Every structure is written in structure tokens, then in C-alpha cells.
């Protein structure tokens, strides 16, 4: 036995110093969502002297990931040596450095990897070809005001995620202009990602360069519902400023004009055809100038940025003649029709569709127009244009850079011609099928307006308007955009079903058609009265929303009605009113709002106090005591209270 022990000891001495057996590391998710089951842990084997980089590579290999760059090994700042799922979202994490040694740690926390995708040891080749598990990914707007939830696979690329987001929001421009970034644990953003990277274990991404408002609310989200955005076709003055050199030009156009129409008027005023053909009206998004679509309405905007050509007016002698202008317009409109047919009969959708493109367009531009028309951005990647190459049925592909020229028919391979529900093709089909709304009688219009007002009350729409007032008072960043979103989404939700019953669509065209019908009966007192009551419920002045101005008789009748409703404010009623206001402004919410405006300068503070007071006391002053909810109504209320100032109790209150 002693001899055997001696041999064993000799072998231990001969073993190189520092060579230790591999260690097994248990890896767990750093955060576990409350509504999801606890994911399994993952065990990886690494050398005892391995670095965190080696552990990440082992995790990526187990999960079948090509790269380990998305994986973050982290620890909690309050307990660096402990590991385990942390349900508390308020815990702060920090990352291990890649060259840090594992040491004595045998459990680690991970971000950026879905441990449920670990593959069995005997299936090492399966994961690379699998699409992984279907998961829900949250795509947030860069200012975090909106988000979209889409279903993709863990092995989906970011290109696929962007396509899924565009489909979810029914917006082609999300695919065209959006850029995805990863949200790091500390809340900061990683650099813009390659579209070839995989979703992996990440469940939250940030879309930069564009908003994430659903297509159904896009047009209504513009503040066309604000007072200055009347649907009246009367022209408004728009200031166009060059984005680079600061040159400024003012043009007069209706607020219902499209951006293309604004450019046309601008080109005529300056005498420069290139303003219309090469120029772009743009908006600044995250340091970049992003062009507006030509079809987008001017709406509430009264100042626009411009790029692409000069804004200096040409001297009269250098301006093109009418004949030259007509010839240039004819060249711009020189388009050809190309028929796209399915190469395979079994592909979904119609057998063929016809598109209009410019005469010198390439096959790639034709494919882009097809993808836009069908609302399917994935066609840019998956579809190919081909032609018959012989009698045996063989096909030859067109190059993307090849010009269409004289080709009037091409075959589509790799996809069908089915249109997405939100595509221009589908909208055109629906518009053809849907009969126009029947001409409503004055009584039906009045009944519709009354229904819309009742719907506001049933839905407690005043809560939405109060939220808008609070955002305006605090003047938070992007408060106007928040207010527009609240108003547009709320109004579409509440009024949409009532408009649909009358044959109007629930989009911008439906609202505009309803406005036109109401305006057509503006000379009828009953319709005007119902429209103005609805505008007051929305906190607009008479005529500011429907474009139906009040007549002198309306104003006189309204003043007489207010006098009758208010009657004489006797001391007992004044006491009740003041006591009610005292209780409202003593509430915790109002006092907290006062704390927020204490640091403001005198004039903004006074304005904020007035708005806060009006929001808090509106229901008491207007609904219970009959005063108008606007500034004039509150002024009249204070005058009536002042008449009772000699009463000691009134003075004390």
C-alpha cells in the first residue's frame, strides 16, 4: 500500500503545475418576467482558468449562435458574488469584462441569450438550420412613447424583424426608413445593427428614424384636430426654410394640400422646375433629414424644411416659358405600364397586376414599386423577375440593375401577388367595392352629431382632454406629439363605429367626408347648433373643428342661454361655489402640480396656474353652475362672486 501511495504521489509531482480539471458553470437568465415560466438554466464546461469571453463562446456554441457578441455576462451591483434570477426590475446590473477570469464563480447571470434554445448534446447539427422558437419581441420608438409587439423566431434576422414590424403597423415607410438598435441593460442604445444579425435572446429593440404609429392613425395623428387645423379649404401661409443655407420663402396653400402640391406652388413662385422635380420637403429626425411622402397632407404644419435645390427666385428673364414648362411636365409624366405575372400557377394572389413606372426604371425599381403596391417589403429580398428562356420551360433571371425599357410583361418567381391587408392595392380594391356614403338629410346629420356627442360622454372622453391639458401645462418634450396621439386614437376609437354605420370609412377619408357633409348644411341653425355643442365638448371654439362658423344670431342666443342658466349668483350659491373650489385645489394631486410650477418665471407660472385651475374646476364651474368652460366663462364667474364681496363668509372663502 505504501508503495502504491508513493507511485501516486510521484504522478502528482510529475503533473504540470497550474493544470487543473475543467469546471462546470451554471448560467441563468438575469431577469425573469412575472408572466413567464422560469426558464431552464444552462451548464457549460470550460477550463478552470477560462475568461468570461471563453464562457460566452461556450454559451453561444450550446445555443447554436454564430457569434457571441450579443451575450452579456452580468452581476448585480449589490451582490457581485451571487447569482440567480432577479425578478425585481429595479436591480442594477453591471457587465463582466471579457478578459476577466472565471475564478471561483460557478454560477453566472446572462443577458442577450435565450437559454431555452439550448440543444441536446447529440443534436449539434440541428440548431443551425432551425428557425428556433417563436417569441414576442417589443420594438420601441426611439423616444419610448410608442411600441409594437411582433412575433418572430429566435433565429430570425433583424431584416425579418423590420419586415414583421412594418406589417404589424401596416406601414411601408417603417421598412424603408427605420433603423434597429439594441437596448442595453443600462438603458443606453447600442450602435445601429446590421440587418443580418439574429434576434437571438433579445426581446426589446429600438426603432430609430421613424415613429411607430399604426397606419390607421397616421393621418389623424397630425394635429388637424387642433384649432388652427380647420378643414376649411381657405389658404394658409406656410414658411419654407432651406435646411442648409437658411433661405426662406412663404407660400399660400390650403391646409388640405399634399406635399407634392406645396412643392408645385413653390416651384411656380420661384420659377424653378427643379424645386418640384428634385426638391424634397423634409423633417429632422435624430439628426437626419427625412423626406415627407409626396402624398402626405400639410395639415397643421405652418413651417417646413426643404432640401435638394435652391430656394432663390429666378429672374424673370431666366424663367422657362409656358411651352417649356409643359414640355418638362410631359417628360416627368412619361411613364409606362408593365404587367407582372406569376411564374407559377400555384402561387397566391391574382394571375397578374399592372404597374406604372418611369420609362428609364430598372428592374430593382420595378420590384420596389411592386413591394410598395402589395405592402410586402420582403419581396425585395425573396422575389425575382424572370423570363421564358426556351421551349422547355426554362427561366432566366433579370439583373436588378437592368433597365425595363421595352419589356411590358415580366414573370415573378419566389412569391405570389397577394396583397397585404394594409397595402395600397387592398385599399384601392376596397374603395372600388364600397359604395360612397349616401347623401344624408339635415335631420340625419343632426342625429349623427348628437350620437357623436353622446359617444364622447359614454366613453368619458373628458379624461383624454384632461391628459392633453396636463401635457400642455407641463410642456414636456414632444408634448404636442403626445397630445395629438391621445386625441387621434381616442377620437377614432369612439367615433369610428358611428361613422361606419352611416357609410363613412374609419380613416382620414371618412372623417373628411363627414366634415364636408356637415359643412354643406352650415346655413341650417339646427346643424350649426349641434356642431358647436360638439365642438365645445371637445374644447374647441365654434367653427374651429368642423369649419362651420357661428352666426350673429347664434352668438346672441348662446349669450342669452348662459344668462338664463346662470341666473343670479346669490351669497348662498357663491359660498357653495367657493367652498367647492377650495376643496378641489386642496387635493393632493393639485398641490403636487403646484410644486411642479414653483420654479418657473412669473409669466409662465401664472399661465400654468391658470390652466391647472381651469382643469381642476371646470366640471364644478361649468356643469354645476352653468358658466362657460372657457376663459370668458371663468371671468364672468369671478365677477359674479365679486358682487358678494361684502359678505364676511364670502370674503373669508
Whether residue 649 is predicted with pLDDT greater than 90 in this model: the reply is no
Stretch 460-466: mean pLDDT: 81
Write out pLDDT tens, residues 245-282: 778 888 888 777 888 889 988 888 888 888 887 788 98
Cα distances (angstroms) measured from residue 128 to each of 118, 197, 199: 12, 14, 14
pLDDT value for 132? 66
Write out pLDDT tens, residues 390-409: 777 777 888 888 888 888 89
pLDDT value for 87? 41
CA-to-CA distance for 569 and 402, rounded, in angstroms? 82
Stretch 100-124: mean pLDDT: 72
Weakest mean pLDDT among 141-150, 200-209, 471-480: 471-480
Three-state DSSP at 491 gives helix
pTM of the model: 0.33
pLDDT value for 560? 63
Three-state DSSP at 545 gives coil
Q: Do 166 and 191 form a contact (C-beta atoms < 8 A)? A: no
pLDDT value for 340? 93
CA-to-CA distance for 577 and 358, rounded, in angstroms? 70
Whether residue 535 is predicted with pLDDT greater than 50 in this model: the reply is yes
Task: Tell me the angle at which helices 462-474 and 479-501 cross, rounded to the nearest 10 degrees.
Answer: 160
Locate 13 and state its grid cell. 509531482
pLDDT value for 433? 52
Q: Name the more confident of 594 and 568.
A: 594
Whether residue 283 is predicted with pLDDT greater than 90 in this model: the reply is no
Weakest mean pLDDT among 83-92, 220-229, 400-409: 220-229
Q: Do 365 and 357 form a contact (C-beta atoms < 8 A)? A: yes
pLDDT value for 141? 83
If we measure between CA atoms, which residue out of 90, 94, 91 comes closest to residue 80? 94
Whether residue 123 is predicted with pLDDT greater than 80 in this model: the reply is no
Q: Which domains does the chain have, with CATH numbers?
A: 23-117 (3.10.20.90), 131-212 (3.10.20.90), 218-331 (3.10.20.90), 334-429 (3.10.20.90), 442-550 (no CATH), 566-652 (no CATH)
pLDDT value for 81? 42
Whether residue 630 is predicted with pLDDT greater than 60 in this model: the reply is yes
CA atoms within 13 A on the CB side of 501: 11
pLDDT cut 90: percent of the chain above it: 2
- Phi and psi of 227, rounded to 5°? -65, -35
pLDDT value for 320? 65
pLDDT cut 70: percent of the chain above it: 75
pLDDT-derived band at 2 (thresholds 50, 70, 90) equals very low
Q: Name the more confident of 632 and 364.
A: 364
Locate 609 and state its grid cell. 396656474
pLDDT value for 38? 67
pLDDT value for 219? 38
pLDDT-derived band at 426 (thresholds 50, 70, 90) equals confident
Host H or E run for residue 558: helix 552-566
Whether residue 554 is predicted with pLDDT greater than 70 in this model: the reply is no
pLDDT value for 610? 81
Stretch 562-589: mean pLDDT: 78
pLDDT value for 339? 92
Whether residue 228 is predicted with pLDDT greater than 70 in this model: the reply is no
Weakest mean pLDDT among 79-83, 184-188, 385-389, 568-572: 79-83
Determine what percent of the chain falls in helix, strand and coil, rounding each to the nearest 5: 40, 20, 40
pLDDT value for 127? 38
pLDDT value for 232? 43
Weakest mean pLDDT among 84-88, 324-328, 508-512, 591-595: 84-88
pLDDT value for 129? 36
CA-to-CA distance for 522 and 551, rounded, in angstroms? 10
Write out pLDDT tens, residues 307-359: 888 888 877 766 666 556 555 555 555 678 899 998 887 778 888 999 988 87
If we measure between CA atoms, which residue out of 328, 329, 407, 330 comes closest to residue 361? 407
Task: Tell me the angle at which helices 552-566 and 631-642 cross, rounded to the nearest 10 degrees.
Answer: 40
Beta bridge partners of 149: 138
pLDDT value for 255? 74
> Average per-residue pLDDT in the chain?
75
Neighbouring residues of 168: CB distance < 8 A, sequence distance ≥ 6:
148, 149, 150
Amino acid at each position: 500500500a505504501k508503495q502504491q501511495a508513493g507511485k501516486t504521489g510521484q504522478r502528482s509531482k510529475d503533473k504540470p503545475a497550474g493544470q487543473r480539471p475543467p469546471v462546470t458553470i451554471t448560467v441563468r437568465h438575469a431577469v425573469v418576467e412575472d408572466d413567464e415560466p422560469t426558464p431552464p438554466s444552462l451548464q457549460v464546461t470550460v477550463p478552470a482558468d477560462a475568461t468570461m469571453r471563453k464562457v460566452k463562446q461556450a454559451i453561444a456554441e450550446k445555443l447554436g449562435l454564430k457569434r457571441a457578441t450579443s451575450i452579456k455576462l452580468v452581476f448585480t451591483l449589490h451582490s457581485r458574488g451571487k447569482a440567480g434570477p432577479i425578478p425585481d426590475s429595479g436591480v442594477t446590473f453591471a457587465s463582466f469584462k471579457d478578459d476577466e477570469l472565471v475564478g471561483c464563480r460557478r454560477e453566472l447571470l446572462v443577458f442577450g441569450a435565450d437559454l431555452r434554445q439550448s440543444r441536446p448534446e447529440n443534436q449539434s447539427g440541428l440548431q443551425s438550420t432551425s428557425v428556433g422558437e417563436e417569441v414576442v419581441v417589443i420594438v420601441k420608438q426611439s423616444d419610448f412613447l410608442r411600441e409594437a409587439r411582433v412575433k418572430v423566431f429566435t433565429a430570425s434576422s433583424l431584416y425579418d424583424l423590420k419586415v414583421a414590424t412594418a406589417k404589424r403597423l401596416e406601414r411601408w415607410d417603417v421598412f424603408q426608413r427605420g433603423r434597429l438598435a439594441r437596448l442595453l441593460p443600462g438603458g443606453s442604445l447600442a450602435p445601429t445593427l446590421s440587418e443580418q444579425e439574429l434576434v437571438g435572446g433579445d426581446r426589446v429593440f429600438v426603432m430609430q428614424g421613424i415613429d411607430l404609429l399604426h397606419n390607421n392613425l397616421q393621418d389623424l395623428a397630425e394635429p388637424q384636430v387642433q384649432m388652427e387645423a380647420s378643414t376649411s379649404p381657405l389658404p394658409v401661409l406656410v414658411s419654407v426654410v432651406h435646411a442648409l443655407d437658411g433661405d426662406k420663402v412663404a407660400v399660400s396653400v390650403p391646409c388640405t394640400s399634399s406635399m407634392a402640391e406645396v412643392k408645385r406652388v413653390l416651384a411656380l413662385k420661384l420659377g424653378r422646375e427643379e424645386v418640384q422635380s428634385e426638391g424634397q420637403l423634409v423633417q429632422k429626425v435624430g439628426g437626419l433629414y427625412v423626406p415627407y411622402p409626396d402624398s402626405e397632407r400639410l395639415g397643421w404644419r405652418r413651417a417646413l424644411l426643404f432640401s435638394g435645390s435652391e430656394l432663390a427666385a429666378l429672374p424673370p428673364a431666366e424663367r422657362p416659358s409656358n411651352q417649356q414648362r409643359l414640355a418638362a411636365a410631359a417628360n416627368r409624366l412619361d411613364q409606362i405600364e408593365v404587367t407582372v405575372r406569376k411564374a407559377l400557377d400555384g402561387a397566391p394572389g391574382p394571375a397578374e397586376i399592372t404597374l406604372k413606372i418611369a420609362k428609364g426604371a430598372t428592374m430593382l425599381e420595378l420590384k420596389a414599386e411592386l413591394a410598395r403596391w402589395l405592402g410586402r417589403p420582403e419581396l425585395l429580398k425573396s422575389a425575382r423577375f424572370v423570363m421564358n428562356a426556351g421551349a422547355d420551360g426554362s427561366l432566366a433571371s433579370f439583373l436588378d440593375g437592368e433597365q425595363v425599357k421595352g419589356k411590358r410583361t415580366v414573370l415573378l418567381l419566389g412569391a405570389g401577388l397577394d396583397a397585404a391587408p394594409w397595402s395600397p392595392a387592398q385599399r384601392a380594391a376596397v374603395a372600388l367595392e364600397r359604395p360612397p356614403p349616401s347623401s344624408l338629410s339635415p335631420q340625419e346629420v343632426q342625429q349623427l352629431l348628437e350620437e357623436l356627442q353622446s359617444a364622447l360622454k359614454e366613453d368619458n372622453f373628458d379624461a383624454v382632454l384632461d391628459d392633453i391639458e396636463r401635457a400642455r401645462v407641463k410642456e414636456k418634450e414632444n408634448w404636442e406629439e403626445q397630445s395629438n396621439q391621445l386625441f387621434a386614437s381616442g377620437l377614432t376609437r369612439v367615433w369610428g363605429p358611428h361613422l361606419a354605420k352611416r357609410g363613412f370609412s374609419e380613416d382620414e377619408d371618412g372623417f373628411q367626408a363627414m366634415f364636408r357633409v356637415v359643412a354643406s348644411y352650415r346655413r341650417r341653425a339646427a346643424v350649426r347648433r349641434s356642431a358647436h355643442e360638439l365642438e365645445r365638448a371637445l374644447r374647441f371654439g365654434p367653427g374651429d373643428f368642423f369649419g362651420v362658423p357661428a352666426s350673429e344670431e347664434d352668438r346672441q342666443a348662446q349669450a342669452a342661454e348662459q344668462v338664463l342658466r346662470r341666473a343670479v349668483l346669490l351669497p348662498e350659491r357663491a359660498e357653495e361655489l367657493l367652498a367647492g373650489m377650495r376643496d378641489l385645489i386642496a387635493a393632493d394631486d393639485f398641490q403636487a402640480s403646484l410644486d411642479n410650477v414653483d420654479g418657473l418665471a412669473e409669466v409662465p407660472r401664472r399661465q400654468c396656474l391658470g390652466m391647472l385651475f381651469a382643469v381642476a374646476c371646470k366640471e364644478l364651474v361649468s356643469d354645476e353652475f352653468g358658466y362657460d368652460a372657457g376663459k370668458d366663462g371663468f371671468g364672468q364667474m369671478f365677477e359674479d362672486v365679486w358682487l358678494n364681496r361684502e359678505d364676511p363668509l364670502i370674503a373669508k372663502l
